[in-house]
Amino acid sequence: MASVSKECGRDSWKLSWYDGPKRKSIRLGAMPKKTAQQFQVKFEELLGVRRGGGSMPQALGDWSNGLDPELREKLEELGLLERTRRLTLGGFCDEYKASRTSVAPATAVRDRQVCTLLIERFGADRMMDSISVREAEEWQRWLSTDGNKRDLENKALQGNTVRRRTGTARQIFATAIRWKLLRDNPFSGLATTVRENKERQEFVTWANVQKVIEVAPSIEWKALIAFVRLVGPRVPSELVGLTWADVDFVSKRIVIKSPKTKHHGGEHTLRSCPLFPELLPYLEKLAELVGPGVEVPLSTPVFPVACDAGVNLRTALARLIVLAGLTPWQKLFVNLRSSRETELLAVYPVADVCRWFGHSPAVAARFYAQARTEVADRASQERTLSDTLVGTTVGTIDVEMGTKVGTIDDYQETSKKHQESNKTQGKHGVLMVQDVKKGSLDGTRKWTILDSNQRPPRCQRGALTN
The better pLDDT of the pair 438, 295 is held by 295
CATH number for the domain spanning 27: value is 3.30.160
Shared domain for 310 and 417, answered yes or no, is no
pLDDT of residue 455: 58
Shared domain for 342 and 218, answered yes or no, is yes
Residue 386, pLDDT > 80, answer: no
Residue 336, pLDDT > 60, answer: yes
Shared domain for 310 and 360, answered yes or no, is yes
CA nearest neighbour of 78 among 12, 6, 17: 17
Shared domain for 175 and 283, answered yes or no, is no
- Which of 18, 48, 77 delimits the end of a domain? 77
Residues 245, 287: Cα–Cα separation, whole Å? 12
Q: What is the mean pLDDT of residues 417-426?
A: 55
Distances 439 to 288, 424, 434 between C-alpha atoms, Å: 93, 17, 9
pLDDT of residue 321: 97
Q: What is the mean pLDDT of residues 367-378?
A: 83
Per-residue pLDDT band at 198 (split at 50, 70, 90):
confident
Residue 410, pLDDT > 60, answer: no
Phi, psi of 25 (to 5 degrees): -155, 155
Is 261 inside any structural domain?
Answer: yes
Shared domain for 233 and 372, answered yes or no, is yes
pLDDT digits (tens, 9 = 90+) for 70-97: 888 888 788 888 776 678 999 999 999 9
Distances 258 to 104, 242, 248, 264, 272 between C-alpha atoms, Å: 10, 10, 18, 10, 11
Is 427 inside any structural domain?
Answer: yes
- Which of 377, 411, 430 delimits the end of a domain? 377
Shared domain for 305 and 235, answered yes or no, is yes
Phi, psi of 347 (to 5 degrees): -120, -40
Q: Tell me, what amino acid is at 337?
A: R
Q: What is the mean pLDDT of residues 383-404?
A: 52
Per-residue pLDDT band at 325 (split at 50, 70, 90):
very high
Is 318 inside any structural domain?
Answer: yes
**Which structural domain, as residue segments, surrounds residue 157?**
89-195
Residue 305, pLDDT > 80, answer: yes
Shared domain for 123 and 165, answered yes or no, is yes
Shared domain for 213 and 286, answered yes or no, is yes
Determine contact, residues 244/293, Cβ cutoff 8 Å: yes
Is 429 inside any structural domain?
Answer: yes
Shared domain for 205 and 353, answered yes or no, is yes
**Which percentage of the chain shows pLDDT scores above 90?**
43
Is 394 inside any structural domain?
Answer: no
Residue 404, pLDDT > 50, answer: no
Domain count, the chain: 4
The better pLDDT of the pair 306, 102 is held by 306
pLDDT of residue 270: 87
Per-residue pLDDT band at 221 (split at 50, 70, 90):
very high
Is 387 inside any structural domain?
Answer: no
pLDDT of residue 456: 57
170-199 burial: b if 16+ Cβ within 10 Å, else e: bebbebbeeeebbeebbbeebebeeeeeee
- Which of 377, 410, 426 delimits the end of a domain? 377
Q: What is the mean pLDDT of residues 326-339?
A: 94
Is 206 inside any structural domain?
Answer: yes
pLDDT of residue 374: 82
CATH number for the domain spanning 178: value is 1.10.150
Shared domain for 131 and 231, answered yes or no, is no
Shared domain for 181 and 214, answered yes or no, is no
Is 391 inside any structural domain?
Answer: no
Q: Which range, 411-415, 422-426, 447-451, is most confident?
A: 411-415
Shared domain for 289 and 215, answered yes or no, is yes
Residues 375, 380: Cα–Cα separation, whole Å? 9
